[in-house]
Structure 1
Amino acid sequence: MFPQVQLIPGAISEILASVADTGYLTIGDRYGLMAATLDESLSEEDRLSANRLLRSVLRGRVKLAH
């Protein structure tokens, strides 16, 4: 059974703004994205934004902070 996680409202837009400013996805951002993937009530807009962000990481446009 998965632990219950809940995404803070507005977290996806905050993560996007932070990544746009720094070019890096922090560990906290990654936990936020993990919570987003487990949140079945996530809006379609937030889901698309999270997917776009993850594709940017895969393509090397966004780096992972250590």
Structure 2
Amino acid sequence: MSCQIELLPGAISEIFASAAETGRLTLCDRYGLMAAAMDETLDEEERRAINRLLRAIVRGRVQLIS
């Protein structure tokens, strides 16, 4: 049995914009990014946005909150 995960259109750009504005990434945002990471149909721009978010977390520009 396989499980299909589908992202809402524009979800990654919404998460990116929210994190850029607030400097925080919520638990719901992280679940959205996890689902996105499993999506093999993401275009290159969406993959770059996810990579930019991860770099911002590593550098301390974006905080992870519960």
Do they fold alike, i.e. is TM over 0.5? yes
Shift of 1:2: 6.7
Shift of 1:4: 2.7
**Residue 25 (str. 1) matches residue 11 (str. 2):** no
**Residue 6 (str. 1) matches residue 6 (str. 2):** yes
SS state at 1:56 partner: helix
- Unpaired segments of 5 or more residues in structure 1? none
Alignment match, 1:51: 51
Structure 2 distance, partners of 1:2, 1:12, is: 23
SS state at 1:32 partner: helix
- Unpaired segments of 5 or more residues in structure 2? none
Classify 1:18/1:2 alpha carbon distance in 2 versus 1 (closer, same or farther; 3 Å): farther
Aligned residues: 66
Structure 1 distance, partners of 2:63, 2:54, is: 11
Q: Percent identity?
A: 62
Q: What is the root-mean-square deviation of aligned Cα atoms in Å?
A: 1.4
Shift of 1:3: 3.8
Q: TM-score, normalised by structure 1?
A: 0.90
